Amino acid sequence: MIINPVIKEIPFPITSLDAFAFIKGQPYPFFLDSSFDLKGLGRYSFLGHSPYKIIRSKGRTVEVETFFGSYRYQGNVFDFINEELKRFTVETSSLIPLLLGGVGYFSYDLLHLLEEIPSNTVDDIGLPECHIAFYDTSIAFDHHEDKGYVISITENKVDEVMETLRNLATNSVGAYCNTPLQTTSNFTKEDYIKAIRKAKEYISAGDIYQVNLSQRFSTEIDISPYDLYLRLREASPAPFSAYLDFGKAAILSSSPERFLKIDGSYVETRPIKGTRPRGKTLGEDEELKKELAQSDKDRAEHIMIVDLERNDLGRVCKYGSVK
């Protein structure tokens, strides 16, 4: 089915954060937030709520939720997502990169649908491995042009959302709690050092040449995911941030790095490696920036991740086309 969405420019001043204050209380809200324009990468922000279909999975058990009920199937969740995407083709002259479609997350454990790798982990969170919601109405903000748009499959829905935003335009998002958080790790310091030593042994033996040795930090909070996201947004603005509230859990993220961009048959990845703390002055910032740029270790790490991603693209792209 070919869809020509209705797109209307918002004719009054309102920010993406104002709109976020509205959608955060609706079913399954999302906010793909560009709160910091890093070299032109943070041009657009997108919001939406009340999806018409949700696909979630655990292993090979796939649950599809619609207005008419929930249904369970056995299979590969990627096949279900592909079938849903094939049902609709959006045709428009608009340059807005995301109009309607699926928003959600893919977890690391989905690799077992693609690769024969042993699974030795313990699922102590119980979240779906994949959770994708499909939306037929959205709100888009073009920060370069300072314009906002409401997009939907029907004009009535566009007008309904527009009226809601008009009522919000004069209201602020409000204050949020600023209570310090106490975090705990799933590693002791001693166990973490042991894991580092083990990783070095694997590298020396030639078994691996990189390892993502991560740890989970947990805390208890007395504020909403929405308030917590506002704190994250203020402390770490980024061109690729996200707030996904799927009811039983919310995903909050902030990243300067765009993993993949697909435009027609063109695929691009932009890996980032190497960090330094911020300085207390602009002068200290500049010195730390130079130190990072001149670091042999960080340059080597970046070259390695570029090579890894080039190999990954080589598995799905036309041979010889990856540059």
Best CA proximity match to 204, nearest among 212, 196, 213:
196
What are the residue ranges of helices labelled H in the chain? 16-23, 77-87, 155-168, 189-204, 225-235, 282-293, 296-314
Question: What letter would DSSP give residue 116?
Answer: -
CA distance 80 to 63: 10
Helices H / strands E in the chain, number of each: 7, 18
Look up 273 and say whether it is catalytic: yes
| Residue among 63, 65, 160, 257 flagged as catalytic | 257
CA distance 140 to 152: 11
CA distance 184 to 194: 18
Best CA proximity match to 223, nearest among 48, 42, 24, 28:
24
**With contact defined as beta carbons under 8 Å apart, do 140 and 46 qualify?**
yes
| Residue among 273, 289, 290, 301 flagged as catalytic | 273
Residues sharing a CB contact under 8 Å with residue 93, sequence separation 6 or more, in sequence order: none
CA distance 180 to 245: 23
Catalytic residues: 257, 273
